[in-house]
Structure 1
């Protein structure tokens, strides 16, 4: 029989708020690119990632840069962290690779894509000594080179839910279709050494519990400080490829790092929280019945961005490289490996380019000289009245929309705006609450119907141009992004 004190401690641990957490859905990714400031600072990363969070993200970054973000593709205003995982691709019978969207990529489902959990678990939750992530903190969970299941806590922390298949979760990619999509799940270690905010391999300053389970248990003596637990879910829309499997019984999906097993799935985190707010969340947002709610009534310390604000928080790519659509090879020259041997850390590229960091892409056409209009930025539209509602092509037929066509159509007006790739709107006033915001790229990346090298707004988003009073005013009004306007994410 357990001693009374040990029994009481065990009961307290079992009664701890294991179900208490906050959970939020990032409305969209901020950028898809071969960028990883943890593993490959200042350089092109080995494989492509989907990156969510603050627009302070960069090839090199620190806590101050994260906190300088003007927006986030995730909802909590006090959280300007970055969260990223590898892109997933479908390998066809012809050997080509097609990027698999996450649910929510096109803002059609704001409850999909990446979901982030902050959970209060372990003995420290029961004793109310659980700590928030410190400033300058970062970590990596998973091993991109792993290709077999080792059975330990780090291996157990990665699994997959095949939604709609009626089958249990697996630690490898399933060899059957998932009608509701494939949800990749990764649980980060929560035990910290209390000293280092990072480590050489970006893992050893953290540890999974000494016992119990990978997601709930006491910390080892080497890593005695229990932090709030971090958990990602990424829902990939694999069902859209259900009729295209080359072989009916073999999984055709592969992660960007060349992993066809799933054992090499991984996640990265750079802390950008206001530390006091995260500690308050850790201490007070423990309503089990809230099911991870981030509503103000359930978690008073936080404030939220709107869905539109999250979708407008984009980061222009800086590598002139296509990572989406149908590709002949995985970006970064990653050979597909099925294990069980680990993947090579130095794959041969057979002369293929590995990419380079260049000027950030832009999403406008410079017509200051040719047309006398200056790009103002990406503004918002929606509801009644429309942002620029004096004149439009909305109900006109036979229009092949381009930026040049739109500004000509708006001759005599002060502003011209392009939307949905096909529409042009004109007006003489620009409401302040719908105007472009400095430092925020906006959701204006739809190609123009009449010229796929130009950009004509987005869903309820306007690429706004202003008629210049003079050549000098035209140049001075140019919105503060640079590039040739044609590089695509």
Structure 2
């Protein structure tokens, strides 16, 4: 179903909140404040959005994003959270690399890179959004996926991390667990959906995952109950990251053996290592108020800012290195040259 059709359906009946907003690029840097706090450079490169209080450490006992940020790259102006995924590269036949840029989604044309973020109470296609959820709390953080995964069996532990080969900007299906095998006319969209059941106690866990769980029957869309170990239902966060592959879609540039040429910044060419990170940073109880409102996308309680304001927020890079934005590079930053 196309996005415009979903918005039309939302006008039929009242609903609880589903919000969708764009976030411009904050930085592309080799830091990972969640998994490798204090380490610069981190193991691999990330593209990061959100509040400009982002730093290399962000330890929860001394980091309060709404208090420390002076701007955010997100359209939701009270959201100073940070969201990130790995960066994506194109590998040429001669073994050199160039970073694949991101672009704005439908409705966010003009946005500087970044991604689209959703918070929802039921599946995206359910315009009534009847379920009640508890918003994340100050200090909350999590990740989903594993960059060490390189096969479908292990990737299936994270059923809601997928790719969509965009035929046009409204394409949403089919979804695959691995990188698309053929050029995608409008780009490759990475879909990162986080678990929706919280243990109700821990704001984080040593692996940044185990305080969260999927519903009993597997996926958020099934609307199954949360397990007894993780009884608190929270909003599902979805990232849609659209990588602009247009300049890399010539068949003559793709590998002669018929394989696909895209590779994550942690040197994964399968796509199975897809993962995302989240550090909560909404101001006060702004997110809970939105989740309690009867609204679909256009929520009165969600304060917003212009795309120009989103684009003007940024932070300087911590690690100064050539990441392949302009010229081809011999190796992905932090990875061994093959």
Q: Give the TM-score of the pair, scaled to structure 2.
A: 0.84
The counterpart of 1:181, out of the listed 184, 187, 190, is 187
Matches within 5 A, 1:133-212: 133-150=136-153, 154-164=157-167, 168-211=174-217
- Indicate yes or no: 2:330 matched with 1:328: yes
**Aligned pairs for 1:39-118 within 5 A:** 39-44=35-40, 45-62=42-59, 64-67=63-66, 68-104=68-104, 109-110=110-111, 113-118=114-119
Q: 1:240 to 1:62 in 2, by over 3 A?
A: same
CA drift of 1:108 comes to 6.5
- Determine if the alignment matches structure 1 residue 226 to structure 2 residue 233: yes
Question: Mean Cα displacement is larger for which, 111-120 or 165-174?
Answer: 165-174
Helix, strand or coil at the partner of 2:143 = strand
- Counterpart CA distance in 2 for 1:269 and 1:142 is 12
- Show the 5 A alignment for 1:313-324: 313-324=313-324
Contact 1:25–1:112 (CA under 8 A) maintained in structure 2: no
The answer to whether 1:273 aligns with 2:282 is yes
Report 1:454-473 matches (<5 A).
none
Taking the aligned partners of 2:64 and 2:257, their CA distance within structure 1 comes to 47
Following the alignment from structure 1 to structure 2, what is the Cα–Cα distance between the partners of residues 267 and 186? 6
Task: State the distance in 2 between where 1:180 and 1:209 align.
Answer: 33
How far apart, in 1, do the equivalents of 2:243 and 2:71 lie? 25
Instruction: Tell me which residue corresponds to 1:310.
Output: 310
State the Cα deviation string for residues 362-421 of structure 1 (Å, max 9, x = none): xxxxxxxxxxxxxxxxxxxxxxxxxxxxxxxxxxxxxxxxxxxxxxxxxxxxxxxxxxxx
Residue 25 of structure 1 corresponds to: 22
Secondary structure (helix, strand or coil) at the match of 1:259 reads: coil
Q: Spell out structure 1 runs of 4+ moving beyond 2 A.
A: 17-20, 62-65, 107-113, 125-128, 150-155, 165-168, 212-217, 246-249
Give the conservation status (yes or no) of the 8 Å contact 2:65–2:80. yes
- Decide whether aligned partners of structure 1 residues 212 and 206 sit closer, same or farther in structure 2, where only a CA change above 3 A counts: closer
Report the CA distance shift for 1:210/1:334 in structure 2 as closer, same or farther (over 3 A).
Answer: farther
Shift of 1:155: 2.8
Partner of 1:34: 30
Q: CA deviation at 1:240?
A: 1.4
Contact 1:42 1:59 in 2 (8 A): yes
CA deviation digits over 1:12-36, x for unaligned, max 9?
xxxxx9995100011x211100111
State the secondary structure of the residue aligned to 2:239: strand
- Residue 318 (structure 1) shift: 1.3
Instruction: Give the corresponding residue for 2:271.
Output: 262
Q: Which residue of 2 aligns with 1:395?
A: none
CA distance in 1, matches of 2:71, 2:33: 19
Greater mean deviation of Cα atoms: 207-216 or 44-53 = 207-216
CA contact (8 A) 1:212 1:218 kept: no
Is this contact kept in 2: 1:139–1:268, CA < 8 A?
yes
Structure 1 unpaired stretches of 5+: 1-16, 337-489
Would you say the 8 A contact 2:121–2:131 is kept in 1? no
Larger radius of gyration between Structure 1 and Structure 2? 1
Answering whether residue 99 of structure 2 is matched by residue 119 of structure 1, we say: no
Alignment of 1:438-457 (within 5 A): none
Deviations along 1:209-230, whole A, 9 cap, x unmatched?
1115244421111111111110
Cα distance change, pair 146–18 in 1 and its aligned pair in 2 (3 A): farther
State the distance in 2 between where 1:127 and 1:188 align.
17
The TM-score, its normalising length taken from structure 1, stands at 0.59
Cα separation, partners in 2 of 1:160 and 1:152, compared to 1, 3 Å: closer
Distance change (3 Å), C-alpha of 1:152 and 1:267: closer
Residue matched to 1:249: 258
5+ long unaligned stretches in structure 2: 1-13, 124-128
Equivalent position of 1:411 in the other structure: none
**Which string of whole-angstrom CA distances, capped at 9 and with x for unpartnered residues, describes residues 23-71 of structure 1?**
0011x21110011110000002110000000000001114644111100
